[in-house]
Amino acid sequence: MITVATWNVLHRVHAENWGEDVVARWPDESERVAAVAERLARRTEQVIALQEVSGDQLAALRDALPGRTVHALRYPRVPAPRHGTCALRAPEEYLVLLADGPSRQVGAAAFEDDPGKGALAVETAGALVVATHVSGDRRRTRQLARLAELAAPAPGRPAILLGDFNADRGVVAAALGTGFDVADLPPDALPTRPPTPGSTAQWIDHVVVRGGGTSSAAVEDAGGLSDHNLLRADVRR
């Protein structure tokens, strides 16, 4: 069994551009960055995928998690503030995968049609793990097809997709096709993206397995640190 988690930690520039509640809750971004790193340092999952990681957040993760390998894909796009200046020292954006134990990065690239979304592939714990962040528009179809290719079956090695898919379970399962198990949450599960005054609750972050299955999937309250909650699950080989 492999324990996994995925969490969109919300890049500060995106939070400010979209008027997220996080900005008011955490006016000092350095304090939020430290709190996110501290929370992740307490996690026990073997593999954790993170989306919307700023350069400041990445540096804090490296300092707070010395026992883990931090794999990172830097996107070609750097988020730009729509109003005023950026509170970050390093505003670039990353897709990150934290691995506990031996690991080897085998691929990393932004999607061809979106320089701010992509996939990061790492071999660890006897599995191929792909961290991803998928676009929320029609580009999603091509990107999910690419993820299905990356998760091609290999004898005795499951493939695990972790990330923010910007789509519900049914859409992701249909696009990926047969052979993929998208973790099913209990009926009373928290949304992975809580509702806001301008949006409804969404379940758009997923754990997907090819060549295995999932169990004990659950959503944990992020406590206002991000506009997404954390999703965890156990992966059966």
* Averaged pLDDT, 161-173: 98
The per-residue pLDDT for range 170-200, each reduced to its tens digit, is 999 999 999 999 999 999 999 999 998 888 9
Instruction: Give the list of residues 6+ apart from residue 177 with CB closer than 8 angstroms, or none.
Output: 148
Q: 131 is written with which tokens?
A: 């961290």
Q: For residue 49, what are the CA distances in angstroms to 5, 119, 170?
A: 6, 11, 21
In whole angstroms, what is the distance from residue 81 CA to residue 78 CA?
10
86 pLDDT band (50/70/90 cuts)?
A: confident
- As given in the structure block, the two tokens for residue 174 are 């249909």
Please state, in angstroms and rounded to a whole number, the distance separating the CA atoms of residues 10 and 29: 11
How would you classify the pairing of strands 159-164 and 180-182?
Answer: unpaired
| Integer Cα distance of 16 and 27 in angstroms | 10
Model pTM?
0.98
pLDDT band, residue 155 (cuts 50/70/90): confident
pLDDT at 198: 81
Length of the chain: 237
What is the average pLDDT across 199-213?
96
Checking if the pLDDT of 235 tops 80, the result is yes
Alpha helices for the chain (secondary structure H): 12-17, 21-25, 29-41, 55-64, 139-150, 169-176
User: Quick one: pLDDT at residue 163?
Assistant: 98
For the stretch 25-58, pLDDT in tens is: 999 999 999 999 999 999 999 999 999 999 999 9
154 pLDDT higher than 80: no
Distance CA 230, CA 191 (A): 10
In this structure, the number of other CB atoms found within 10 A of the CB of residue 55 comes to 18
Burial class (CB in 10 A: 0-12, 13-18, 19+), 227: buried
Q: Look at residue 197 in the predicted model and tell me its pLDDT.
A: 84
State the fold for domain 2-236. Deoxyribonuclease I; Chain A (3.60.10)
Cβ neighbour number for residue 69 with a 10 Å cutoff = 16
How far apart are the C-alpha atoms of 57 and 157, rounded to whole Å?
A: 31
Per-residue pLDDT band at 83 (split at 50, 70, 90):
confident
Give the mean pLDDT of the chain: 96
Indicate whether 92 pLDDT > 90. Answer: yes
pLDDT band at 87 (very low <50, low <70, confident <90, very high): confident
Residue 59 has pLDDT above 90, yes or no: yes
CA 37, 217, 163, 210 torsion-angle sign? positive
What is the per-residue pLDDT for 100?
97
